[in-house]
Structure 1
Amino acid sequence: MNTYIKNGLLIGLSTLVLTACSDRLNVQPTQSIDSGQALATEQDVNITLTGAYDGISDGNLYGGGIQYTGELLGDNRDVVFGGTFTTLDEFWRKTITTSNVDVRDTWLDGYNAINRANNVLANVSKVGTANRNSIEGQARFIRGAMYFELIKLFGKSFNDGTPASNPGVPLVLTPTASVTDADYRTRNTVAEVYTQVLDDLTKAEQLLPATQANGTGFATKGAAQAMLARVYLQQQNYSSARDAANRVIASGTFSLATTFAAAFTDASPETIFKIVVTDQDGSNGLNTYYGSTRVSGRGDIRVQTKFRQLYDAADPRGQFFTTVNNNVFTNKFNDRFGDVPVIRLAEMYLVRAETNSRLSSSVGASPLADVNAVRARAGAPLLTSVTLATILLERRLELAFEGQQIADVKRIAGTVGTTPYSANNLVLPIPQREIDTNKNLVQNPGY
């Protein structure tokens, strides 16, 4: 982690502590901060935790960037990127440069959020016993989720080569309080990063309550379980992925929305974790790029006939689009100030269906029953049988544009057009600024 990252982390921490997230304009850069003095009380720790949530809501993270990066990297002309931002166009064309500022900011903002979570975890002893488990669990969820997203983008897929030797991303598990040579980290292996992710999320599941009084914008036990299901699925640990998804469904905390359209409202009962957006705070990058100009979007990502024809003619999801000036846009993100969905219950049904199918088991329900539960909610015709291919297609139809495309291509060893899942240009480069500053970092192949 280089000086650029560290200074950003310190600035972020100083902002949280000194201004309680309310005034970021008067903060001066600093090379060190006395974290013991800065986080002296439970209120200080809570403020820093709020800052960690603010960090992951950034436009380059769960505010939309992680999702549209995953979709554009994995796209095979199912959409056309027609915008003027060359950084996103590079994602879509798979011609990413090491100077791409969106790549740089995803790295920087991810480590900023991690550092804030690290500060919470380093000071959780200052929290009273009534709230300590929840606060620690939330910080671990944030850190585990961020490392999972970083390793998927900047490291090889878990099924590509040898995870125990493939370079991942640097693991930083303590607060960055001062800049020293020790902060010029090397890249941990893919396997080491996944081990840390699972450690954080498993502990988060144990510590977190089933619900948070503040709502679905805060991590819960179900959010940790759902993220674990994603991690295990990416590792091809099918039994653990199945069981984690089953715990979410069996809890009864969440339920499928009454319609497909209702699943993309702020009040949707199937939202497991989301980024809360208001007209005062937060940004919905999915609306910005996927939304048409009629709904305050830029109209940059245009859905092609090729993709829409994947839906059955009687499937309402195939009509969940808007045409503007002969260009077609998804209706999933039409609200400029709508909350940004990160994980939905429908995905857990499809994880359980896929893993049960692969394992020839029926934990919780049969694969057919789970797929039909999702299709019934959408109003699509029910199926009489399913295969693994059917289930994978259902994932594509249900979760389109929500960020899972490149991860799915990689874990099933598929292709993006004629580009194999293991191609160098389907992995983001380490930002050039990081390479130039920290000589211990090794660039990804192909860059």
Structure 2
Amino acid sequence: MKKKIYKSYAAFFAALLLTTACDSKLDVKPTQSIDESVALSTSRDVEVTLIGCYDGLQDSDVYGGGFQYSSELLGNSDELLFGGTFQNLLEMNNKQITTANVTALATWRDSYITINRCNNVLSALDIVDEDKRQRIEGEAKFIRGSLFFDLVRLYAKTWGDGDNAANPGIPLVLKPTRIITDADKVPRNSVAEVYAQVLSDLTEAKALLPEVNDVNINYANKYAAAAQLSRVYLMQSNFAASRDEANEVIESDKYKLAPTFSSLFYTFLRNGGANPAEYIFSMIVTQQDGVNDMNTFFGTQISGIPGTSGRGDIRIAARHRALYEAGDERGAFFLTPTNNTFTQKHLDTYGNVLQFRLAEMYLTRAESNFRLGTSVGATPLADINLIRTRAKLPAATTVTLASILKERHLELAFEGHMLHDLKRNKANVGSLPYNSPKLILPIPQREIDVNPKLVQNEGYN
């Protein structure tokens, strides 16, 4: 089941191409053969294309849920129960993925479509109005770098699993692809090369982006780039850099921890569609546009809460609920309408799809400081107690790495962190080691068929 939405960007840009490509009503050129100098000939054309980058980013198979639920299902051993009928999700939960898996295909395809839109924007910066050029470049690089990062985390060996310079990552496509030729059939770059490009894109984006994006408050800004950089560095075990990026977001004072854990969610039903002050970046969903596939699969209709919905495919197991201490507000943030238990994080039909929030930055800073024996910004104990006391738990008197990682796990549960936190900590997923080929998505068979330079991941025929 897929929710169908009207893509205003696609319609507008198609109309733009048609109207700019003809000198008269009788001189109409087919859109597939319009020269790029006509398609992107004004600053406004490039701005509309950037809107298309965000439109692609919020796609249900990209940041509208696909990356997040893939991480949760691949990283699940005994904390989630899958009761749906979709073969693609069942394969991920059972770690028996085929090269025809439709999520693996759609996430790859739709991510590269979005990357190509970013490349179109970046190729035409010289025609952008000077007062907008820096911001537009920063937004396009933020989106492209973010997608390269999340693709390499799902479709390649994790950072540090063997030789990063030899392990195949994903193809780095850095120029617009308009007509497919043999030159566009490129091999996979190494994991090391992909991470280098990710850091280049995100670092440049951070320098280019404003602290507040006045064009649209929900678009990327400097601190969204810093939050993403903190994740990249944490994945690489570069704890000093990860700590410093997280600390910069915290110290900016642009974001505030929500007063209660429960107030972070139900953004449409309880907050009129606006983000809480803790959100750094999210995919905005409205009744007119956007899809929240975390709601589709984690959510369910609750009779006493109008505006809730979902297939109810992904349920919460007793094993997960047993991890919470008595009195933990997070441990009560579940509903059991029948025989199955669901998290309340994703019940809101039009809830925004969260990407980064401030609590993650505190948890990253605490972990990184602890590993390094430093106290940049605050002590690990102080940061962890901010999270614990917000959850109505007593303040801890000491912390260990295990206790910090447990707080991270419980605070950020079902938000797309499961697989990646397990891999970077070299923890098993059930009986599978962190570097099992079964925990890596296959390169879609369709891509292998049309591009012989792509090599398939280990374990797939």
Q: Same fold per TM (> 0.5)? A: yes
Q: 2:359 aligns with which of 346, 350, 355?
A: 346
Deviation of 1:159 (Å): 1.5
Deviations 1:125-165 (A, max 9, x none): 11122111111100000000000010000010001111100
TM-score of the superposed pair, with normalisation by structure 2: 0.91
Distance 2:231 2:96 in 1: 27
| Mapping of residues 48-127 of structure 1, within 5 Å | 48-127=49-128
Other structure's SS at 1:255 match: coil
2:441 is matched with 428
Distance 1:320 1:72 in 2: 20
2:300 is matched with 292
- State whether residues 9 and 48 of structure 2, in contact with CA within 8 Å, keep that contact through their aligned partners in structure 1: no
1:326 is matched with 339
Residues 261 and 20 (structure 1), Cα distance of their counterparts in 2 relative to 1, 3 Å cut: farther
1:7 is matched with none
Residues 82 and 39 (structure 1), Cα distance of their counterparts in 2 relative to 1, 3 Å cut: same
Q: 1:386 aligns with which of 383, 395, 399?
A: 399
Deviation of 1:216 (Å): 4.7
Deviations 1:380-430 (A, max 9, x none): 221111111111111100000000110011101111011000000100000
Gaps of 5+ in 2: 1-6, 18-28, 268-273, 303-307
1:42 is matched with 43
1:406 partnered with 2:416: no
Other structure's SS at 1:179 match: coil
1:18 is matched with 14
1:277 partnered with 2:285: yes
Name the aligned partner's letter for residue 362 of structure 1.
Answer: S
Deviations 1:164-205 (A, max 9, x none): 000000000011122211001100000000000000000010
Other structure's SS at 1:324 match: coil
More displaced 10-residue stretch of structure 1: 310-319 or 29-38: 29-38
Deviation of 1:378 (Å): 2.2
Deviation of 1:217 (Å): 2.6
Other structure's SS at 2:98 match: coil
More displaced 10-residue stretch of structure 1: 288-297 or 65-74: 288-297
- State whether residues 301 and 347 of structure 2, in contact with CA within 8 Å, keep that contact through their aligned partners in structure 1: no
2:203 is matched with 202
Deviations 1:282-341 (A, max 9, x none): 011111111122221111111011101111111110000010211100001121011111
2:22 is matched with none
Distance 2:34 2:195 in 1: 30
Distance 2:207 2:428 in 1: 37
Deviations 1:90-127 (A, max 9, x none): 11111110001111000000000100000111111111
More displaced 10-residue stretch of structure 1: 219-228 or 254-263: 254-263
Deviation of 1:263 (Å): 1.6
Task: Provide the aligned C-alpha RMSD in A.
Answer: 1.8
| Mapping of residues 244-263 of structure 1, within 5 Å | 244-263=245-264
Distance 2:12 2:179 in 1: 17
Deviation of 1:347 (Å): 0.3
1:222 partnered with 2:223: yes
> Which structure: larger Rg?
2
Other structure's SS at 2:230 match: helix
TM-score of the superposed pair, with normalisation by structure 1: 0.94
Distance 2:81 2:92 in 1: 12
Distance 1:29 1:170 in 2: 30
- State whether residues 141 and 201 of structure 1, in contact with CA within 8 Å, keep that contact through their aligned partners in structure 2: yes
Residues 144 and 328 (structure 1), Cα distance of their counterparts in 2 relative to 1, 3 Å cut: same
- State whether residues 32 and 178 of structure 1, in contact with CA within 8 Å, keep that contact through their aligned partners in structure 2: no
1:308 is matched with 321
2:147 is matched with 146
Residues 435 and 221 (structure 1), Cα distance of their counterparts in 2 relative to 1, 3 Å cut: same
2:23 is matched with none
Deviation of 1:33 (Å): 4.5
Distance 2:263 2:386 in 1: 15
Number of positions where the alignment pairs a residue of Structure 1 with one of Structure 2: 431
Deviations 1:252-282 (A, max 9, x none): 1111111101122333101000000000100
- State whether residues 315 and 381 of structure 1, in contact with CA within 8 Å, keep that contact through their aligned partners in structure 2: no
Distance 1:20 1:379 in 2: 54
2:21 is matched with none
Q: Which runs of 4+ in 1 moved over 6 A?
A: 11-14
Gaps of 5+ in 1: 1-10, 22-27
- State whether residues 222 and 272 of structure 1, in contact with CA within 8 Å, keep that contact through their aligned partners in structure 2: yes
- State whether residues 229 and 241 of structure 1, in contact with CA within 8 Å, keep that contact through their aligned partners in structure 2: yes
2:24 is matched with none
Name the aligned partner's letter for residue 93 of structure 2.
Answer: W
Distance 2:112 2:12 in 1: 15
Name the aligned partner's letter for residue 413 of structure 1.
Answer: K
- State whether residues 353 and 368 of structure 1, in contact with CA within 8 Å, keep that contact through their aligned partners in structure 2: yes
Other structure's SS at 2:168 match: coil
Distance 2:258 2:16 in 1: 36
Name the aligned partner's letter for residue 403 of structure 2.
Answer: T
1:359 partnered with 2:355: no
Distance 1:263 1:20 in 2: 39
Distance 2:139 2:299 in 1: 31
Distance 2:419 2:176 in 1: 31
More displaced 10-residue stretch of structure 1: 345-354 or 375-384: 375-384
Distance 2:421 2:198 in 1: 19
More displaced 10-residue stretch of structure 1: 379-388 or 356-365: 379-388
Residues 176 and 57 (structure 1), Cα distance of their counterparts in 2 relative to 1, 3 Å cut: same
Residues 20 and 405 (structure 1), Cα distance of their counterparts in 2 relative to 1, 3 Å cut: farther
- State whether residues 16 and 48 of structure 1, in contact with CA within 8 Å, keep that contact through their aligned partners in structure 2: no
